[in-house]
Amino acid sequence: MEFTLIDRIRERTAQGRDDVRLGIGDDAALLAVPAGQELAVSIDTLVEGVHFPIGTAAADIGWKSLAVNLSDLAAMGATPAWALLALTLPSADPAFIDGFATGFAQLAQSYRLALVGGDTTRGAFTVSVAVHGFVPPGKALTRAGAQAGDAILVTGTLGDAAAGLRLVQSGNSGIDLRSALLLERLNRPTPRVAAGLALRGHASACIDVSDGLLADLGHLCAASHVGAEIEAPLLPRSSALLDLFDEAASRDFALSGGDDYELCFTLPVQHVAAVQADLARIGCGATKIGRVVEGSGVSVRDADGRWLEPVHRGWDHFGA
């Protein structure tokens, strides 16, 4: 069983990376980090009914389990290299395994990522992925480093995944184009790896938006010992989101919805235009949404200049 799944992914991602000295099949893999590079490492778990709705397609689960981890590497400005996969399943369902392997491998191939270790066990459905990437010493983006006066930007649009989850919960299977776009954002998030690399040497701090803008920007502020002021009218929202949800709902999704996997980053205001141009050249929009201030915490102002009290402050996957 173990070798079926792992082999299916490996055979779809076989890439002859020089830095994989010994791949899957022994007690451990043997890997060589390139000279002059440090290793960025992260692990994340997806649980059915918590990180994706029950009934999510196997290929989407495979894709997303890797995507959320690659998003962590993106937030550090690291180049993805290797992954480990620990999959626990109630039964060895060949169709599920084939779908999972397909989705995982599709995303892995985009980055020449090698699967270098795996373990499959029988039990309640859980998937943990660990990813490894490279970054030159001292060049990684971190959550610390934001300075009062810096601009705050986000890539792409916010709130789409949370809106997609709302559609699933209300029984909308995404048959029209706008619904399908939101569901795609929920089920097939695109890690902002190229944007993270482009931000090296420019962003003063960076985090990925996995638990919602307010929660994640709050983490960035805490690590940087600063506060943040967000202008709600500047929040980038997709036309699909704005078409299907009213202003209050779409704003709440954009502020507090999780699972977007965009990057939120800070940089000196005089560099904003140049960095936006750099990101545009790699097909990634980036929008200025506010500024870093002295103090602590994240404040949000509406179009009339009134301070808002957000409904949620982000998703906590472990509950209260």
Q: Interface with a second copy by CB under 8 A: which residues?
A: 1-2, 21-22, 25-33, 38-45, 47-51, 71-73, 75-76, 78, 82, 84-86, 88, 92, 116-126, 128, 130-133, 135, 137, 140, 142-144, 207-208, 223, 316-319
Element (H, E) at 199: helix 193-199
Question: 């009934």: which residue's tokens?
Answer: 55
Nearer to a second copy, 24 or 167 (CB): 24
State the nearest-atom distance from the C-beta of 83 to a second copy, in Å: 10
Cα separation, 296 vs 211, whole angstroms? 19
**How far apart are the C-alpha atoms of 39 and 20, rounded to whole Å?**
14
Q: Which residues are annotated as a binding site?
A: 27, 42, 44, 51, 72, 118-119, 143, 208, 210-211, 259, 315
CB-nearer residue toward a second copy: 140 or 244: 140
Give the containing element (helix H, strand E) for 196: helix 193-199
Binding residues for ATP: 118-119, 143, 210
Under 8 Å between Cβ of 103 and 60: yes
* Residue among 216, 299, 308 at smallest CA distance from 264: 216
CB of 203 to a second copy, least distance (A): 13
Measured from the CB atom, is 29 or 153 closer to a second copy?
A: 29
Per-residue tokens: 25: 């099949």
Q: How far is the CB of 220 from a second copy (least distance, A)?
A: 10
Per-residue b or e along 202-223, where b marks 16 or more CB atoms closer than 10 Å to that residue's CB: bbbbbbbbbbbbbbbbbebbee
Q: Give which of 317, 89, 54 is closest to 211, Cα–Cα.
A: 317
Residue 193 beta carbon to a second copy: minimum distance, rounded to whole angstroms: 12
Q: Which is nearer to a second copy, 167 or 220 (CB)?
A: 220
CB of 208 to a second copy, least distance (A): 6
| Inter-residue contact 260 to 189 (CB < 8 Å) | yes
What is the token pair recorded at 7? 């082999």
Residue whose token pair is 């070798």: 3
- Nearest alpha carbon to residue 256 among 179, 313, 208: 313
Minimum separation from the CB atom of position 27 to a second copy (A) = 4
Shortest Å distance, C-beta 104 to a second copy = 15
How far apart (Å, rounded) are the C-alpha atoms in residues 287 and 152?
Answer: 8
By residue count, the chain amounts to 320
For a second copy, the closer CB: 225 or 317: 317
Kindly state the DSSP code that residue 87 receives in the 8-state scheme.
Answer: E
Nearer to a second copy, 281 or 317 (CB): 317
Which C-beta is closer to a second copy: that of 232 or that of 314? 314
314 CB-near residues (< 8 Å, 6+ apart): 211, 212, 213, 214, 215, 216, 218, 256, 258
